[in-house]
Amino acid sequence: MSTDHLTEMIVFGVLFLLVSGMGFVAARWRRPTTMDSLDEWGLGGRSFGSWVTWFLIGGDLYTAYTFVAVPALVFGAGAAGFYAVPYTIVVYPLVFLVLIRLWSVSHVHGFVTPADFVRARFGSPTLALVIAITGIVATMPYIALQLVGIEAVLKAMGVNGHLPIIIAFAVLAAYTYQSGLRAPALIAFAKDGLIYLVIIVAVLYIPGKVGGWGHVFDAAQAKFDKTPAPSDGILLDGSNQLNYAMLALGSALALFLYPHSITGVLAGKNRDVIKRNMAALPAYSFVLGLIALLGFMAIAAGVKPVSTDGKPDTNTVVPLLFDHMFPSWFAGVAYAAIGIGALVPAAIMSIAAANLFTRNIYKEYIRPDATEKQEATVSKLVSLVVKVGAVACILLLDPEFSIDLQLIGGVIILQTLPAVALGLITRWFHRGALVAGWAAGMLAGLWMLYEIPNPAKHKVHFGGSAYRLSELGLDTTMTVYVGMLALAVNLVVAVAVTVALRLARVADGVDATRAADYLADENDPKVKDLDLAGST
């Protein structure tokens, strides 16, 4: 451990401990009579208002990985890294009406997970199991990726080894176990405040120190002109424009399919809270655009990524930029913003994954008569297991490969769109067809990902998410996001099989929801015990 960064370490450590203390205090914040239910532990009592929900969802979606990896991608590839900006702009209009309907039907029936909704909507525990497993699998690497942000900060401070990460996640596990969703909801205020402060200061301060914005873009273009990759540069070209658009659209469609995103939405207390947040959350996209520009600033500042085992770790470019440009004390604040930015989403993700296991695997297949207290206890324990699994991903996998897992996670979670998102709008699809479509989309997506090489990283397989259309027999150099191709396969199969099953008069499941359920609000009556007996 280097003593050259002692001031940064002290500031980072103090802020990290203060925020962790907030996590434990959160157990007393809005404390109900008992925390022994998923409604209270896993959804904060479904009582959060507009401000709390805004910070909670924002803290959930804009993670340490965003803070570190988006500018790292801009640093390495240029304009292609800005796909995150349009996708966070188009996502909110796309999901505005869908999420309101999900909140309402979940309010009436007490749904805690997207798989709960699918179980009732299509009368199929098998389909619900598929959705639950998909959500857990897609969430696990996402949690691990939060560790990448903390690890990048530690490397920039000269801290080697995994012990600090293990300690940080042990603290996270402790206060999440005790406080549930209330912990990340309270911490999100501090997390977002620190990130806004650091980004605004960086944008106003750093360009002046490196010669102005003109020099920033000139230095970036000069760097990309020297690289052999044809698609690198501060502008898109004909080969990557389609992939850029499809990656933005696919990421937007996937964002609110993730269980942790839905958990943040279901914690709102009424429909108006969801409406206001979907209208106000694009404010984060402005900050995201500024975050992406840090990649160009790092080029202009001459930042060289930390090398690990002889390979440059581009995830360290933002922490190193802060180290070069800021006074030590403020660099410590910036490092804390990144580290704390990992805690909020990691906590929500672990809670969401645990709720999926408890509701849709444990209660459905292991202990159907489980009480609310038993459900809460199982979720608390599983949330610990999920965090241990995330730490194991970092300890056992090459961090560079763990980042590629995020690309795979997006392709995977997109395959739940027909059942979850379209299921909120229409009941036309047959439950068997949805399972068949999911399987086809999953196989197609994973096969395409397997076939993508990355010579620059010396990877023969799983080298990215841009699939060459020439592989499909088209005479073009363009690529397209694998997730959208896999989703197209999913939908075609789901439609075709639905038509076939309807013609064959194969029995479908029973829809346990009513049209009025999708318009229900805060004071409308709830269905305490939903009777789904007889469904298969």
What is the reported pLDDT for 145? 80
Q: Which residue has the higher pLDDT, 97 or 56?
A: 56
What is the reported pLDDT for 377? 94
* Lookup: tokens for 452: 């993508």
Cα separation of 181 and 45, whole Å? 9
- Of how many residues is the chain composed? 536
Torsion (CA) 417, 418, 420, 423 in degrees, nearest 10 = 150
What share of the chain has pLDDT > 70, as a percent? 93
| Across 129-133, 138-142, 528-532, least confident range | 528-532
What is the reported pLDDT for 2? 55
Highest mean pLDDT: which of 58-62, 142-146, 299-303?
299-303
Residue 172 has pLDDT above 60, yes or no: yes
Residue 397 has pLDDT above 70, yes or no: no
Highest mean pLDDT: which of 26-40, 99-113, 144-158, 165-179?
99-113
pLDDT (tens digit per residue) in 490-504: 999 999 999 999 999
Residue 107 has pLDDT above 70, yes or no: yes
| Across 35-44, 237-246, 526-535, least confident range | 526-535
Cα separation of 499 and 316, whole Å? 51
- Please state the rounded mean pLDDT for residues 397-419: 78
Closest CA to 487 of 304, 253, 154: 253
What is the reported pLDDT for 178? 87
Residue 108 has pLDDT above 60, yes or no: yes
Answer yes or no: are the C-beta atoms of 481 and 448 closer than 8 Å: no
The confidence band for 173, taking pLDDT boundaries of 50, 70 and 90, is: confident
- Please state the rounded mean pLDDT for residues 64-93: 85
pLDDT (tens digit per residue) in 421-448: 999 999 999 999 999 999 999 999 999 9
- Please state the rounded mean pLDDT for residues 474-493: 92
The confidence band for 535, taking pLDDT boundaries of 50, 70 and 90, is: very low
Residue 330 has pLDDT above 70, yes or no: yes
Answer yes or no: are the C-beta atoms of 315 and 69 closer than 8 Å: yes
CATH no., domain 6-23+36-404: 1.20.1730.10
What is the reported pLDDT for 529? 47
Distance from the first to the final alpha carbon of the chain: 58
Cα separation of 243 and 480, whole Å? 4
What are the residue ranges spanned by the domains of the chain? 6-23+36-404
DSSP bridge pairs for 312: 307
- 78 in helix, strand or coil? strand
Closest CA to 413 of 529, 192, 251: 251
- Please state the rounded mean pLDDT for residues 272-300: 89
- Please state the rounded mean pLDDT for residues 140-147: 81
Cα separation of 224 and 113, whole Å? 45
- Please state the rounded mean pLDDT for residues 168-173: 83
pLDDT (tens digit per residue) in 14-23: 998 898 888 8
What is the reported pLDDT for 61? 78
Residue 534 has pLDDT above 50, yes or no: no
pLDDT (tens digit per residue) in 184-205: 998 988 888 898 899 999 999 9
Residue 1 has pLDDT above 80, yes or no: no
pLDDT (tens digit per residue) in 310-329: 677 788 899 999 999 999 99
* Lookup: tokens for 79: 């304009």
Residue 405 has pLDDT above 90, yes or no: no
The confidence band for 260, taking pLDDT boundaries of 50, 70 and 90, is: very high
What is the reported pLDDT for 285? 81
- Please state the rounded mean pLDDT for residues 74-93: 87
Q: Which residue has the higher pLDDT, 394 or 239?
A: 239
- Sign, CA dihedral 167-57-110-102, equals negative
What is the reported pLDDT for 399? 57
